[in-house]
Amino acid sequence: MKLSLTEKKLRHYLPNFFVTVEGETPLLEKLTPFIEMSEDWIIQTFTSESTFNTILGYMDANLLKPILYRVVVNNALMAAIPTLDLVLTPNGFGIVSNQNIAPASKERVDRLLASLEKERDNAIEQMLLRLPVASKWLKSEQCAYFTATLFPNLSLCRRLAISEHLWEQYQALHPKLVKIESVLAETYFSHEQMNLFREKSLYALTNCHPLMEQVIRSLQSLELMLVSDMNVHTQAFFDLVNIIRENKNVFPQWHASNVAQLYIPKLFSNKKTSGGYWF
């Protein structure tokens, strides 16, 4: 286990209605294998091993560290619950191994799992906001996944009025957006310009030229319509391209791309050798 956890510290990251019945095995001991699996999952999915270890070395005052702990612990408990014997005590859920005590109902356990998932997903959202400043994360495969679209965070789901299962829903939407943006890049905006748009989106459009921010926000709104299977008139994209065409100093990447050539008017050249020569 990479996290420095004690029984007391573990409970700091768990819901305050979770208790261990007196005389039972400490919660940390039961959760240790699940915590280790959760650490591996986060390394492979979100941080990379290098960045994960770097974060663990931060002072507790750095908000990214406690957020990481919240993700690990809540995800570990979600995985562990099906193997634990849960009862409902006056103080909340308890973990026991005495089969003579009536277990908590399935409905109550399901509500507990939903609560843990929500807590975990909220923590993932906060973690992704802060990971860009973590050491070497920008060069990781994990970063490449989240920067493959203009929506590098679970806030994508909130913008679509999705309030449950945020991480699960984000994963379902991600490949659809990758496909949408590939077509938009080849047809209107170029891969070079879209890459810059994604980089700006990763930093929540901070230090972004106002005109570029306007284009990115409009493009994001149009993509949300497309991923929701709503019709979008092509003129909406041409309008954004016109803004880009008229502001070369703000969008030099587009003007240097092959896509820009598609929007250069083909001028007629009157030659004597042409059929239908005009005086």
Q: What is the pTM of this model?
A: 0.86
As given in the structure block, the two tokens for residue 137 are: 């994360």
As given in the structure block, the two tokens for residue 167 are: 């991480």
As given in the structure block, the two tokens for residue 208 are: 């972004």
Give per-residue pLDDT as tens, 101-137.
545 556 776 778 888 999 999 999 999 999 999 989 9
* DSSP three-state, residue 96: strand
Can you list the residues of the chain whose pLDDT is less than 70? 15-24, 84-106, 109, 266-279
* DSSP three-state, residue 19: strand
As given in the structure block, the two tokens for residue 206 are: 């901070």
Distance CA(261)–CA(8), nearest Å, equals 63
E strand or H helix at 113: helix 106-130
Q: How many CB atoms lie within 10 A of CB 52?
A: 22
Distance CA(3)–CA(73), nearest Å, equals 10
As given in the structure block, the two tokens for residue 187 are: 């047809």
Distance CA(261)–CA(254), nearest Å, equals 10
Kindly tell me the burial class for residue 241, based on how many C-beta atoms sit within 10 Å of its own C-beta (0-12, 13-18, 19 or more).
buried
Per the CB < 8 A criterion, the answer to whether 84 and 30 are in contact is: yes
CA nearest to 235, candidates 251, 252, 222: 222
> Which whole-number Å values give the CA distances from 132 to 34, 64, 79, 124, 241, in the listed order?
27, 11, 28, 13, 29
Q: Residue 277: what pLDDT? A: 42
Q: How many CB atoms lie within 10 A of CB 39?
A: 22
CA nearest to 66, candidates 16, 137, 141, 10: 10
Beta bridge partners of residue 94, listed in sequence order: 19, 87
Q: Residue 66: what pLDDT? A: 94
What is the side-by-side strand order in the sheet with 92-96? 18-20, 92-96, 85-89
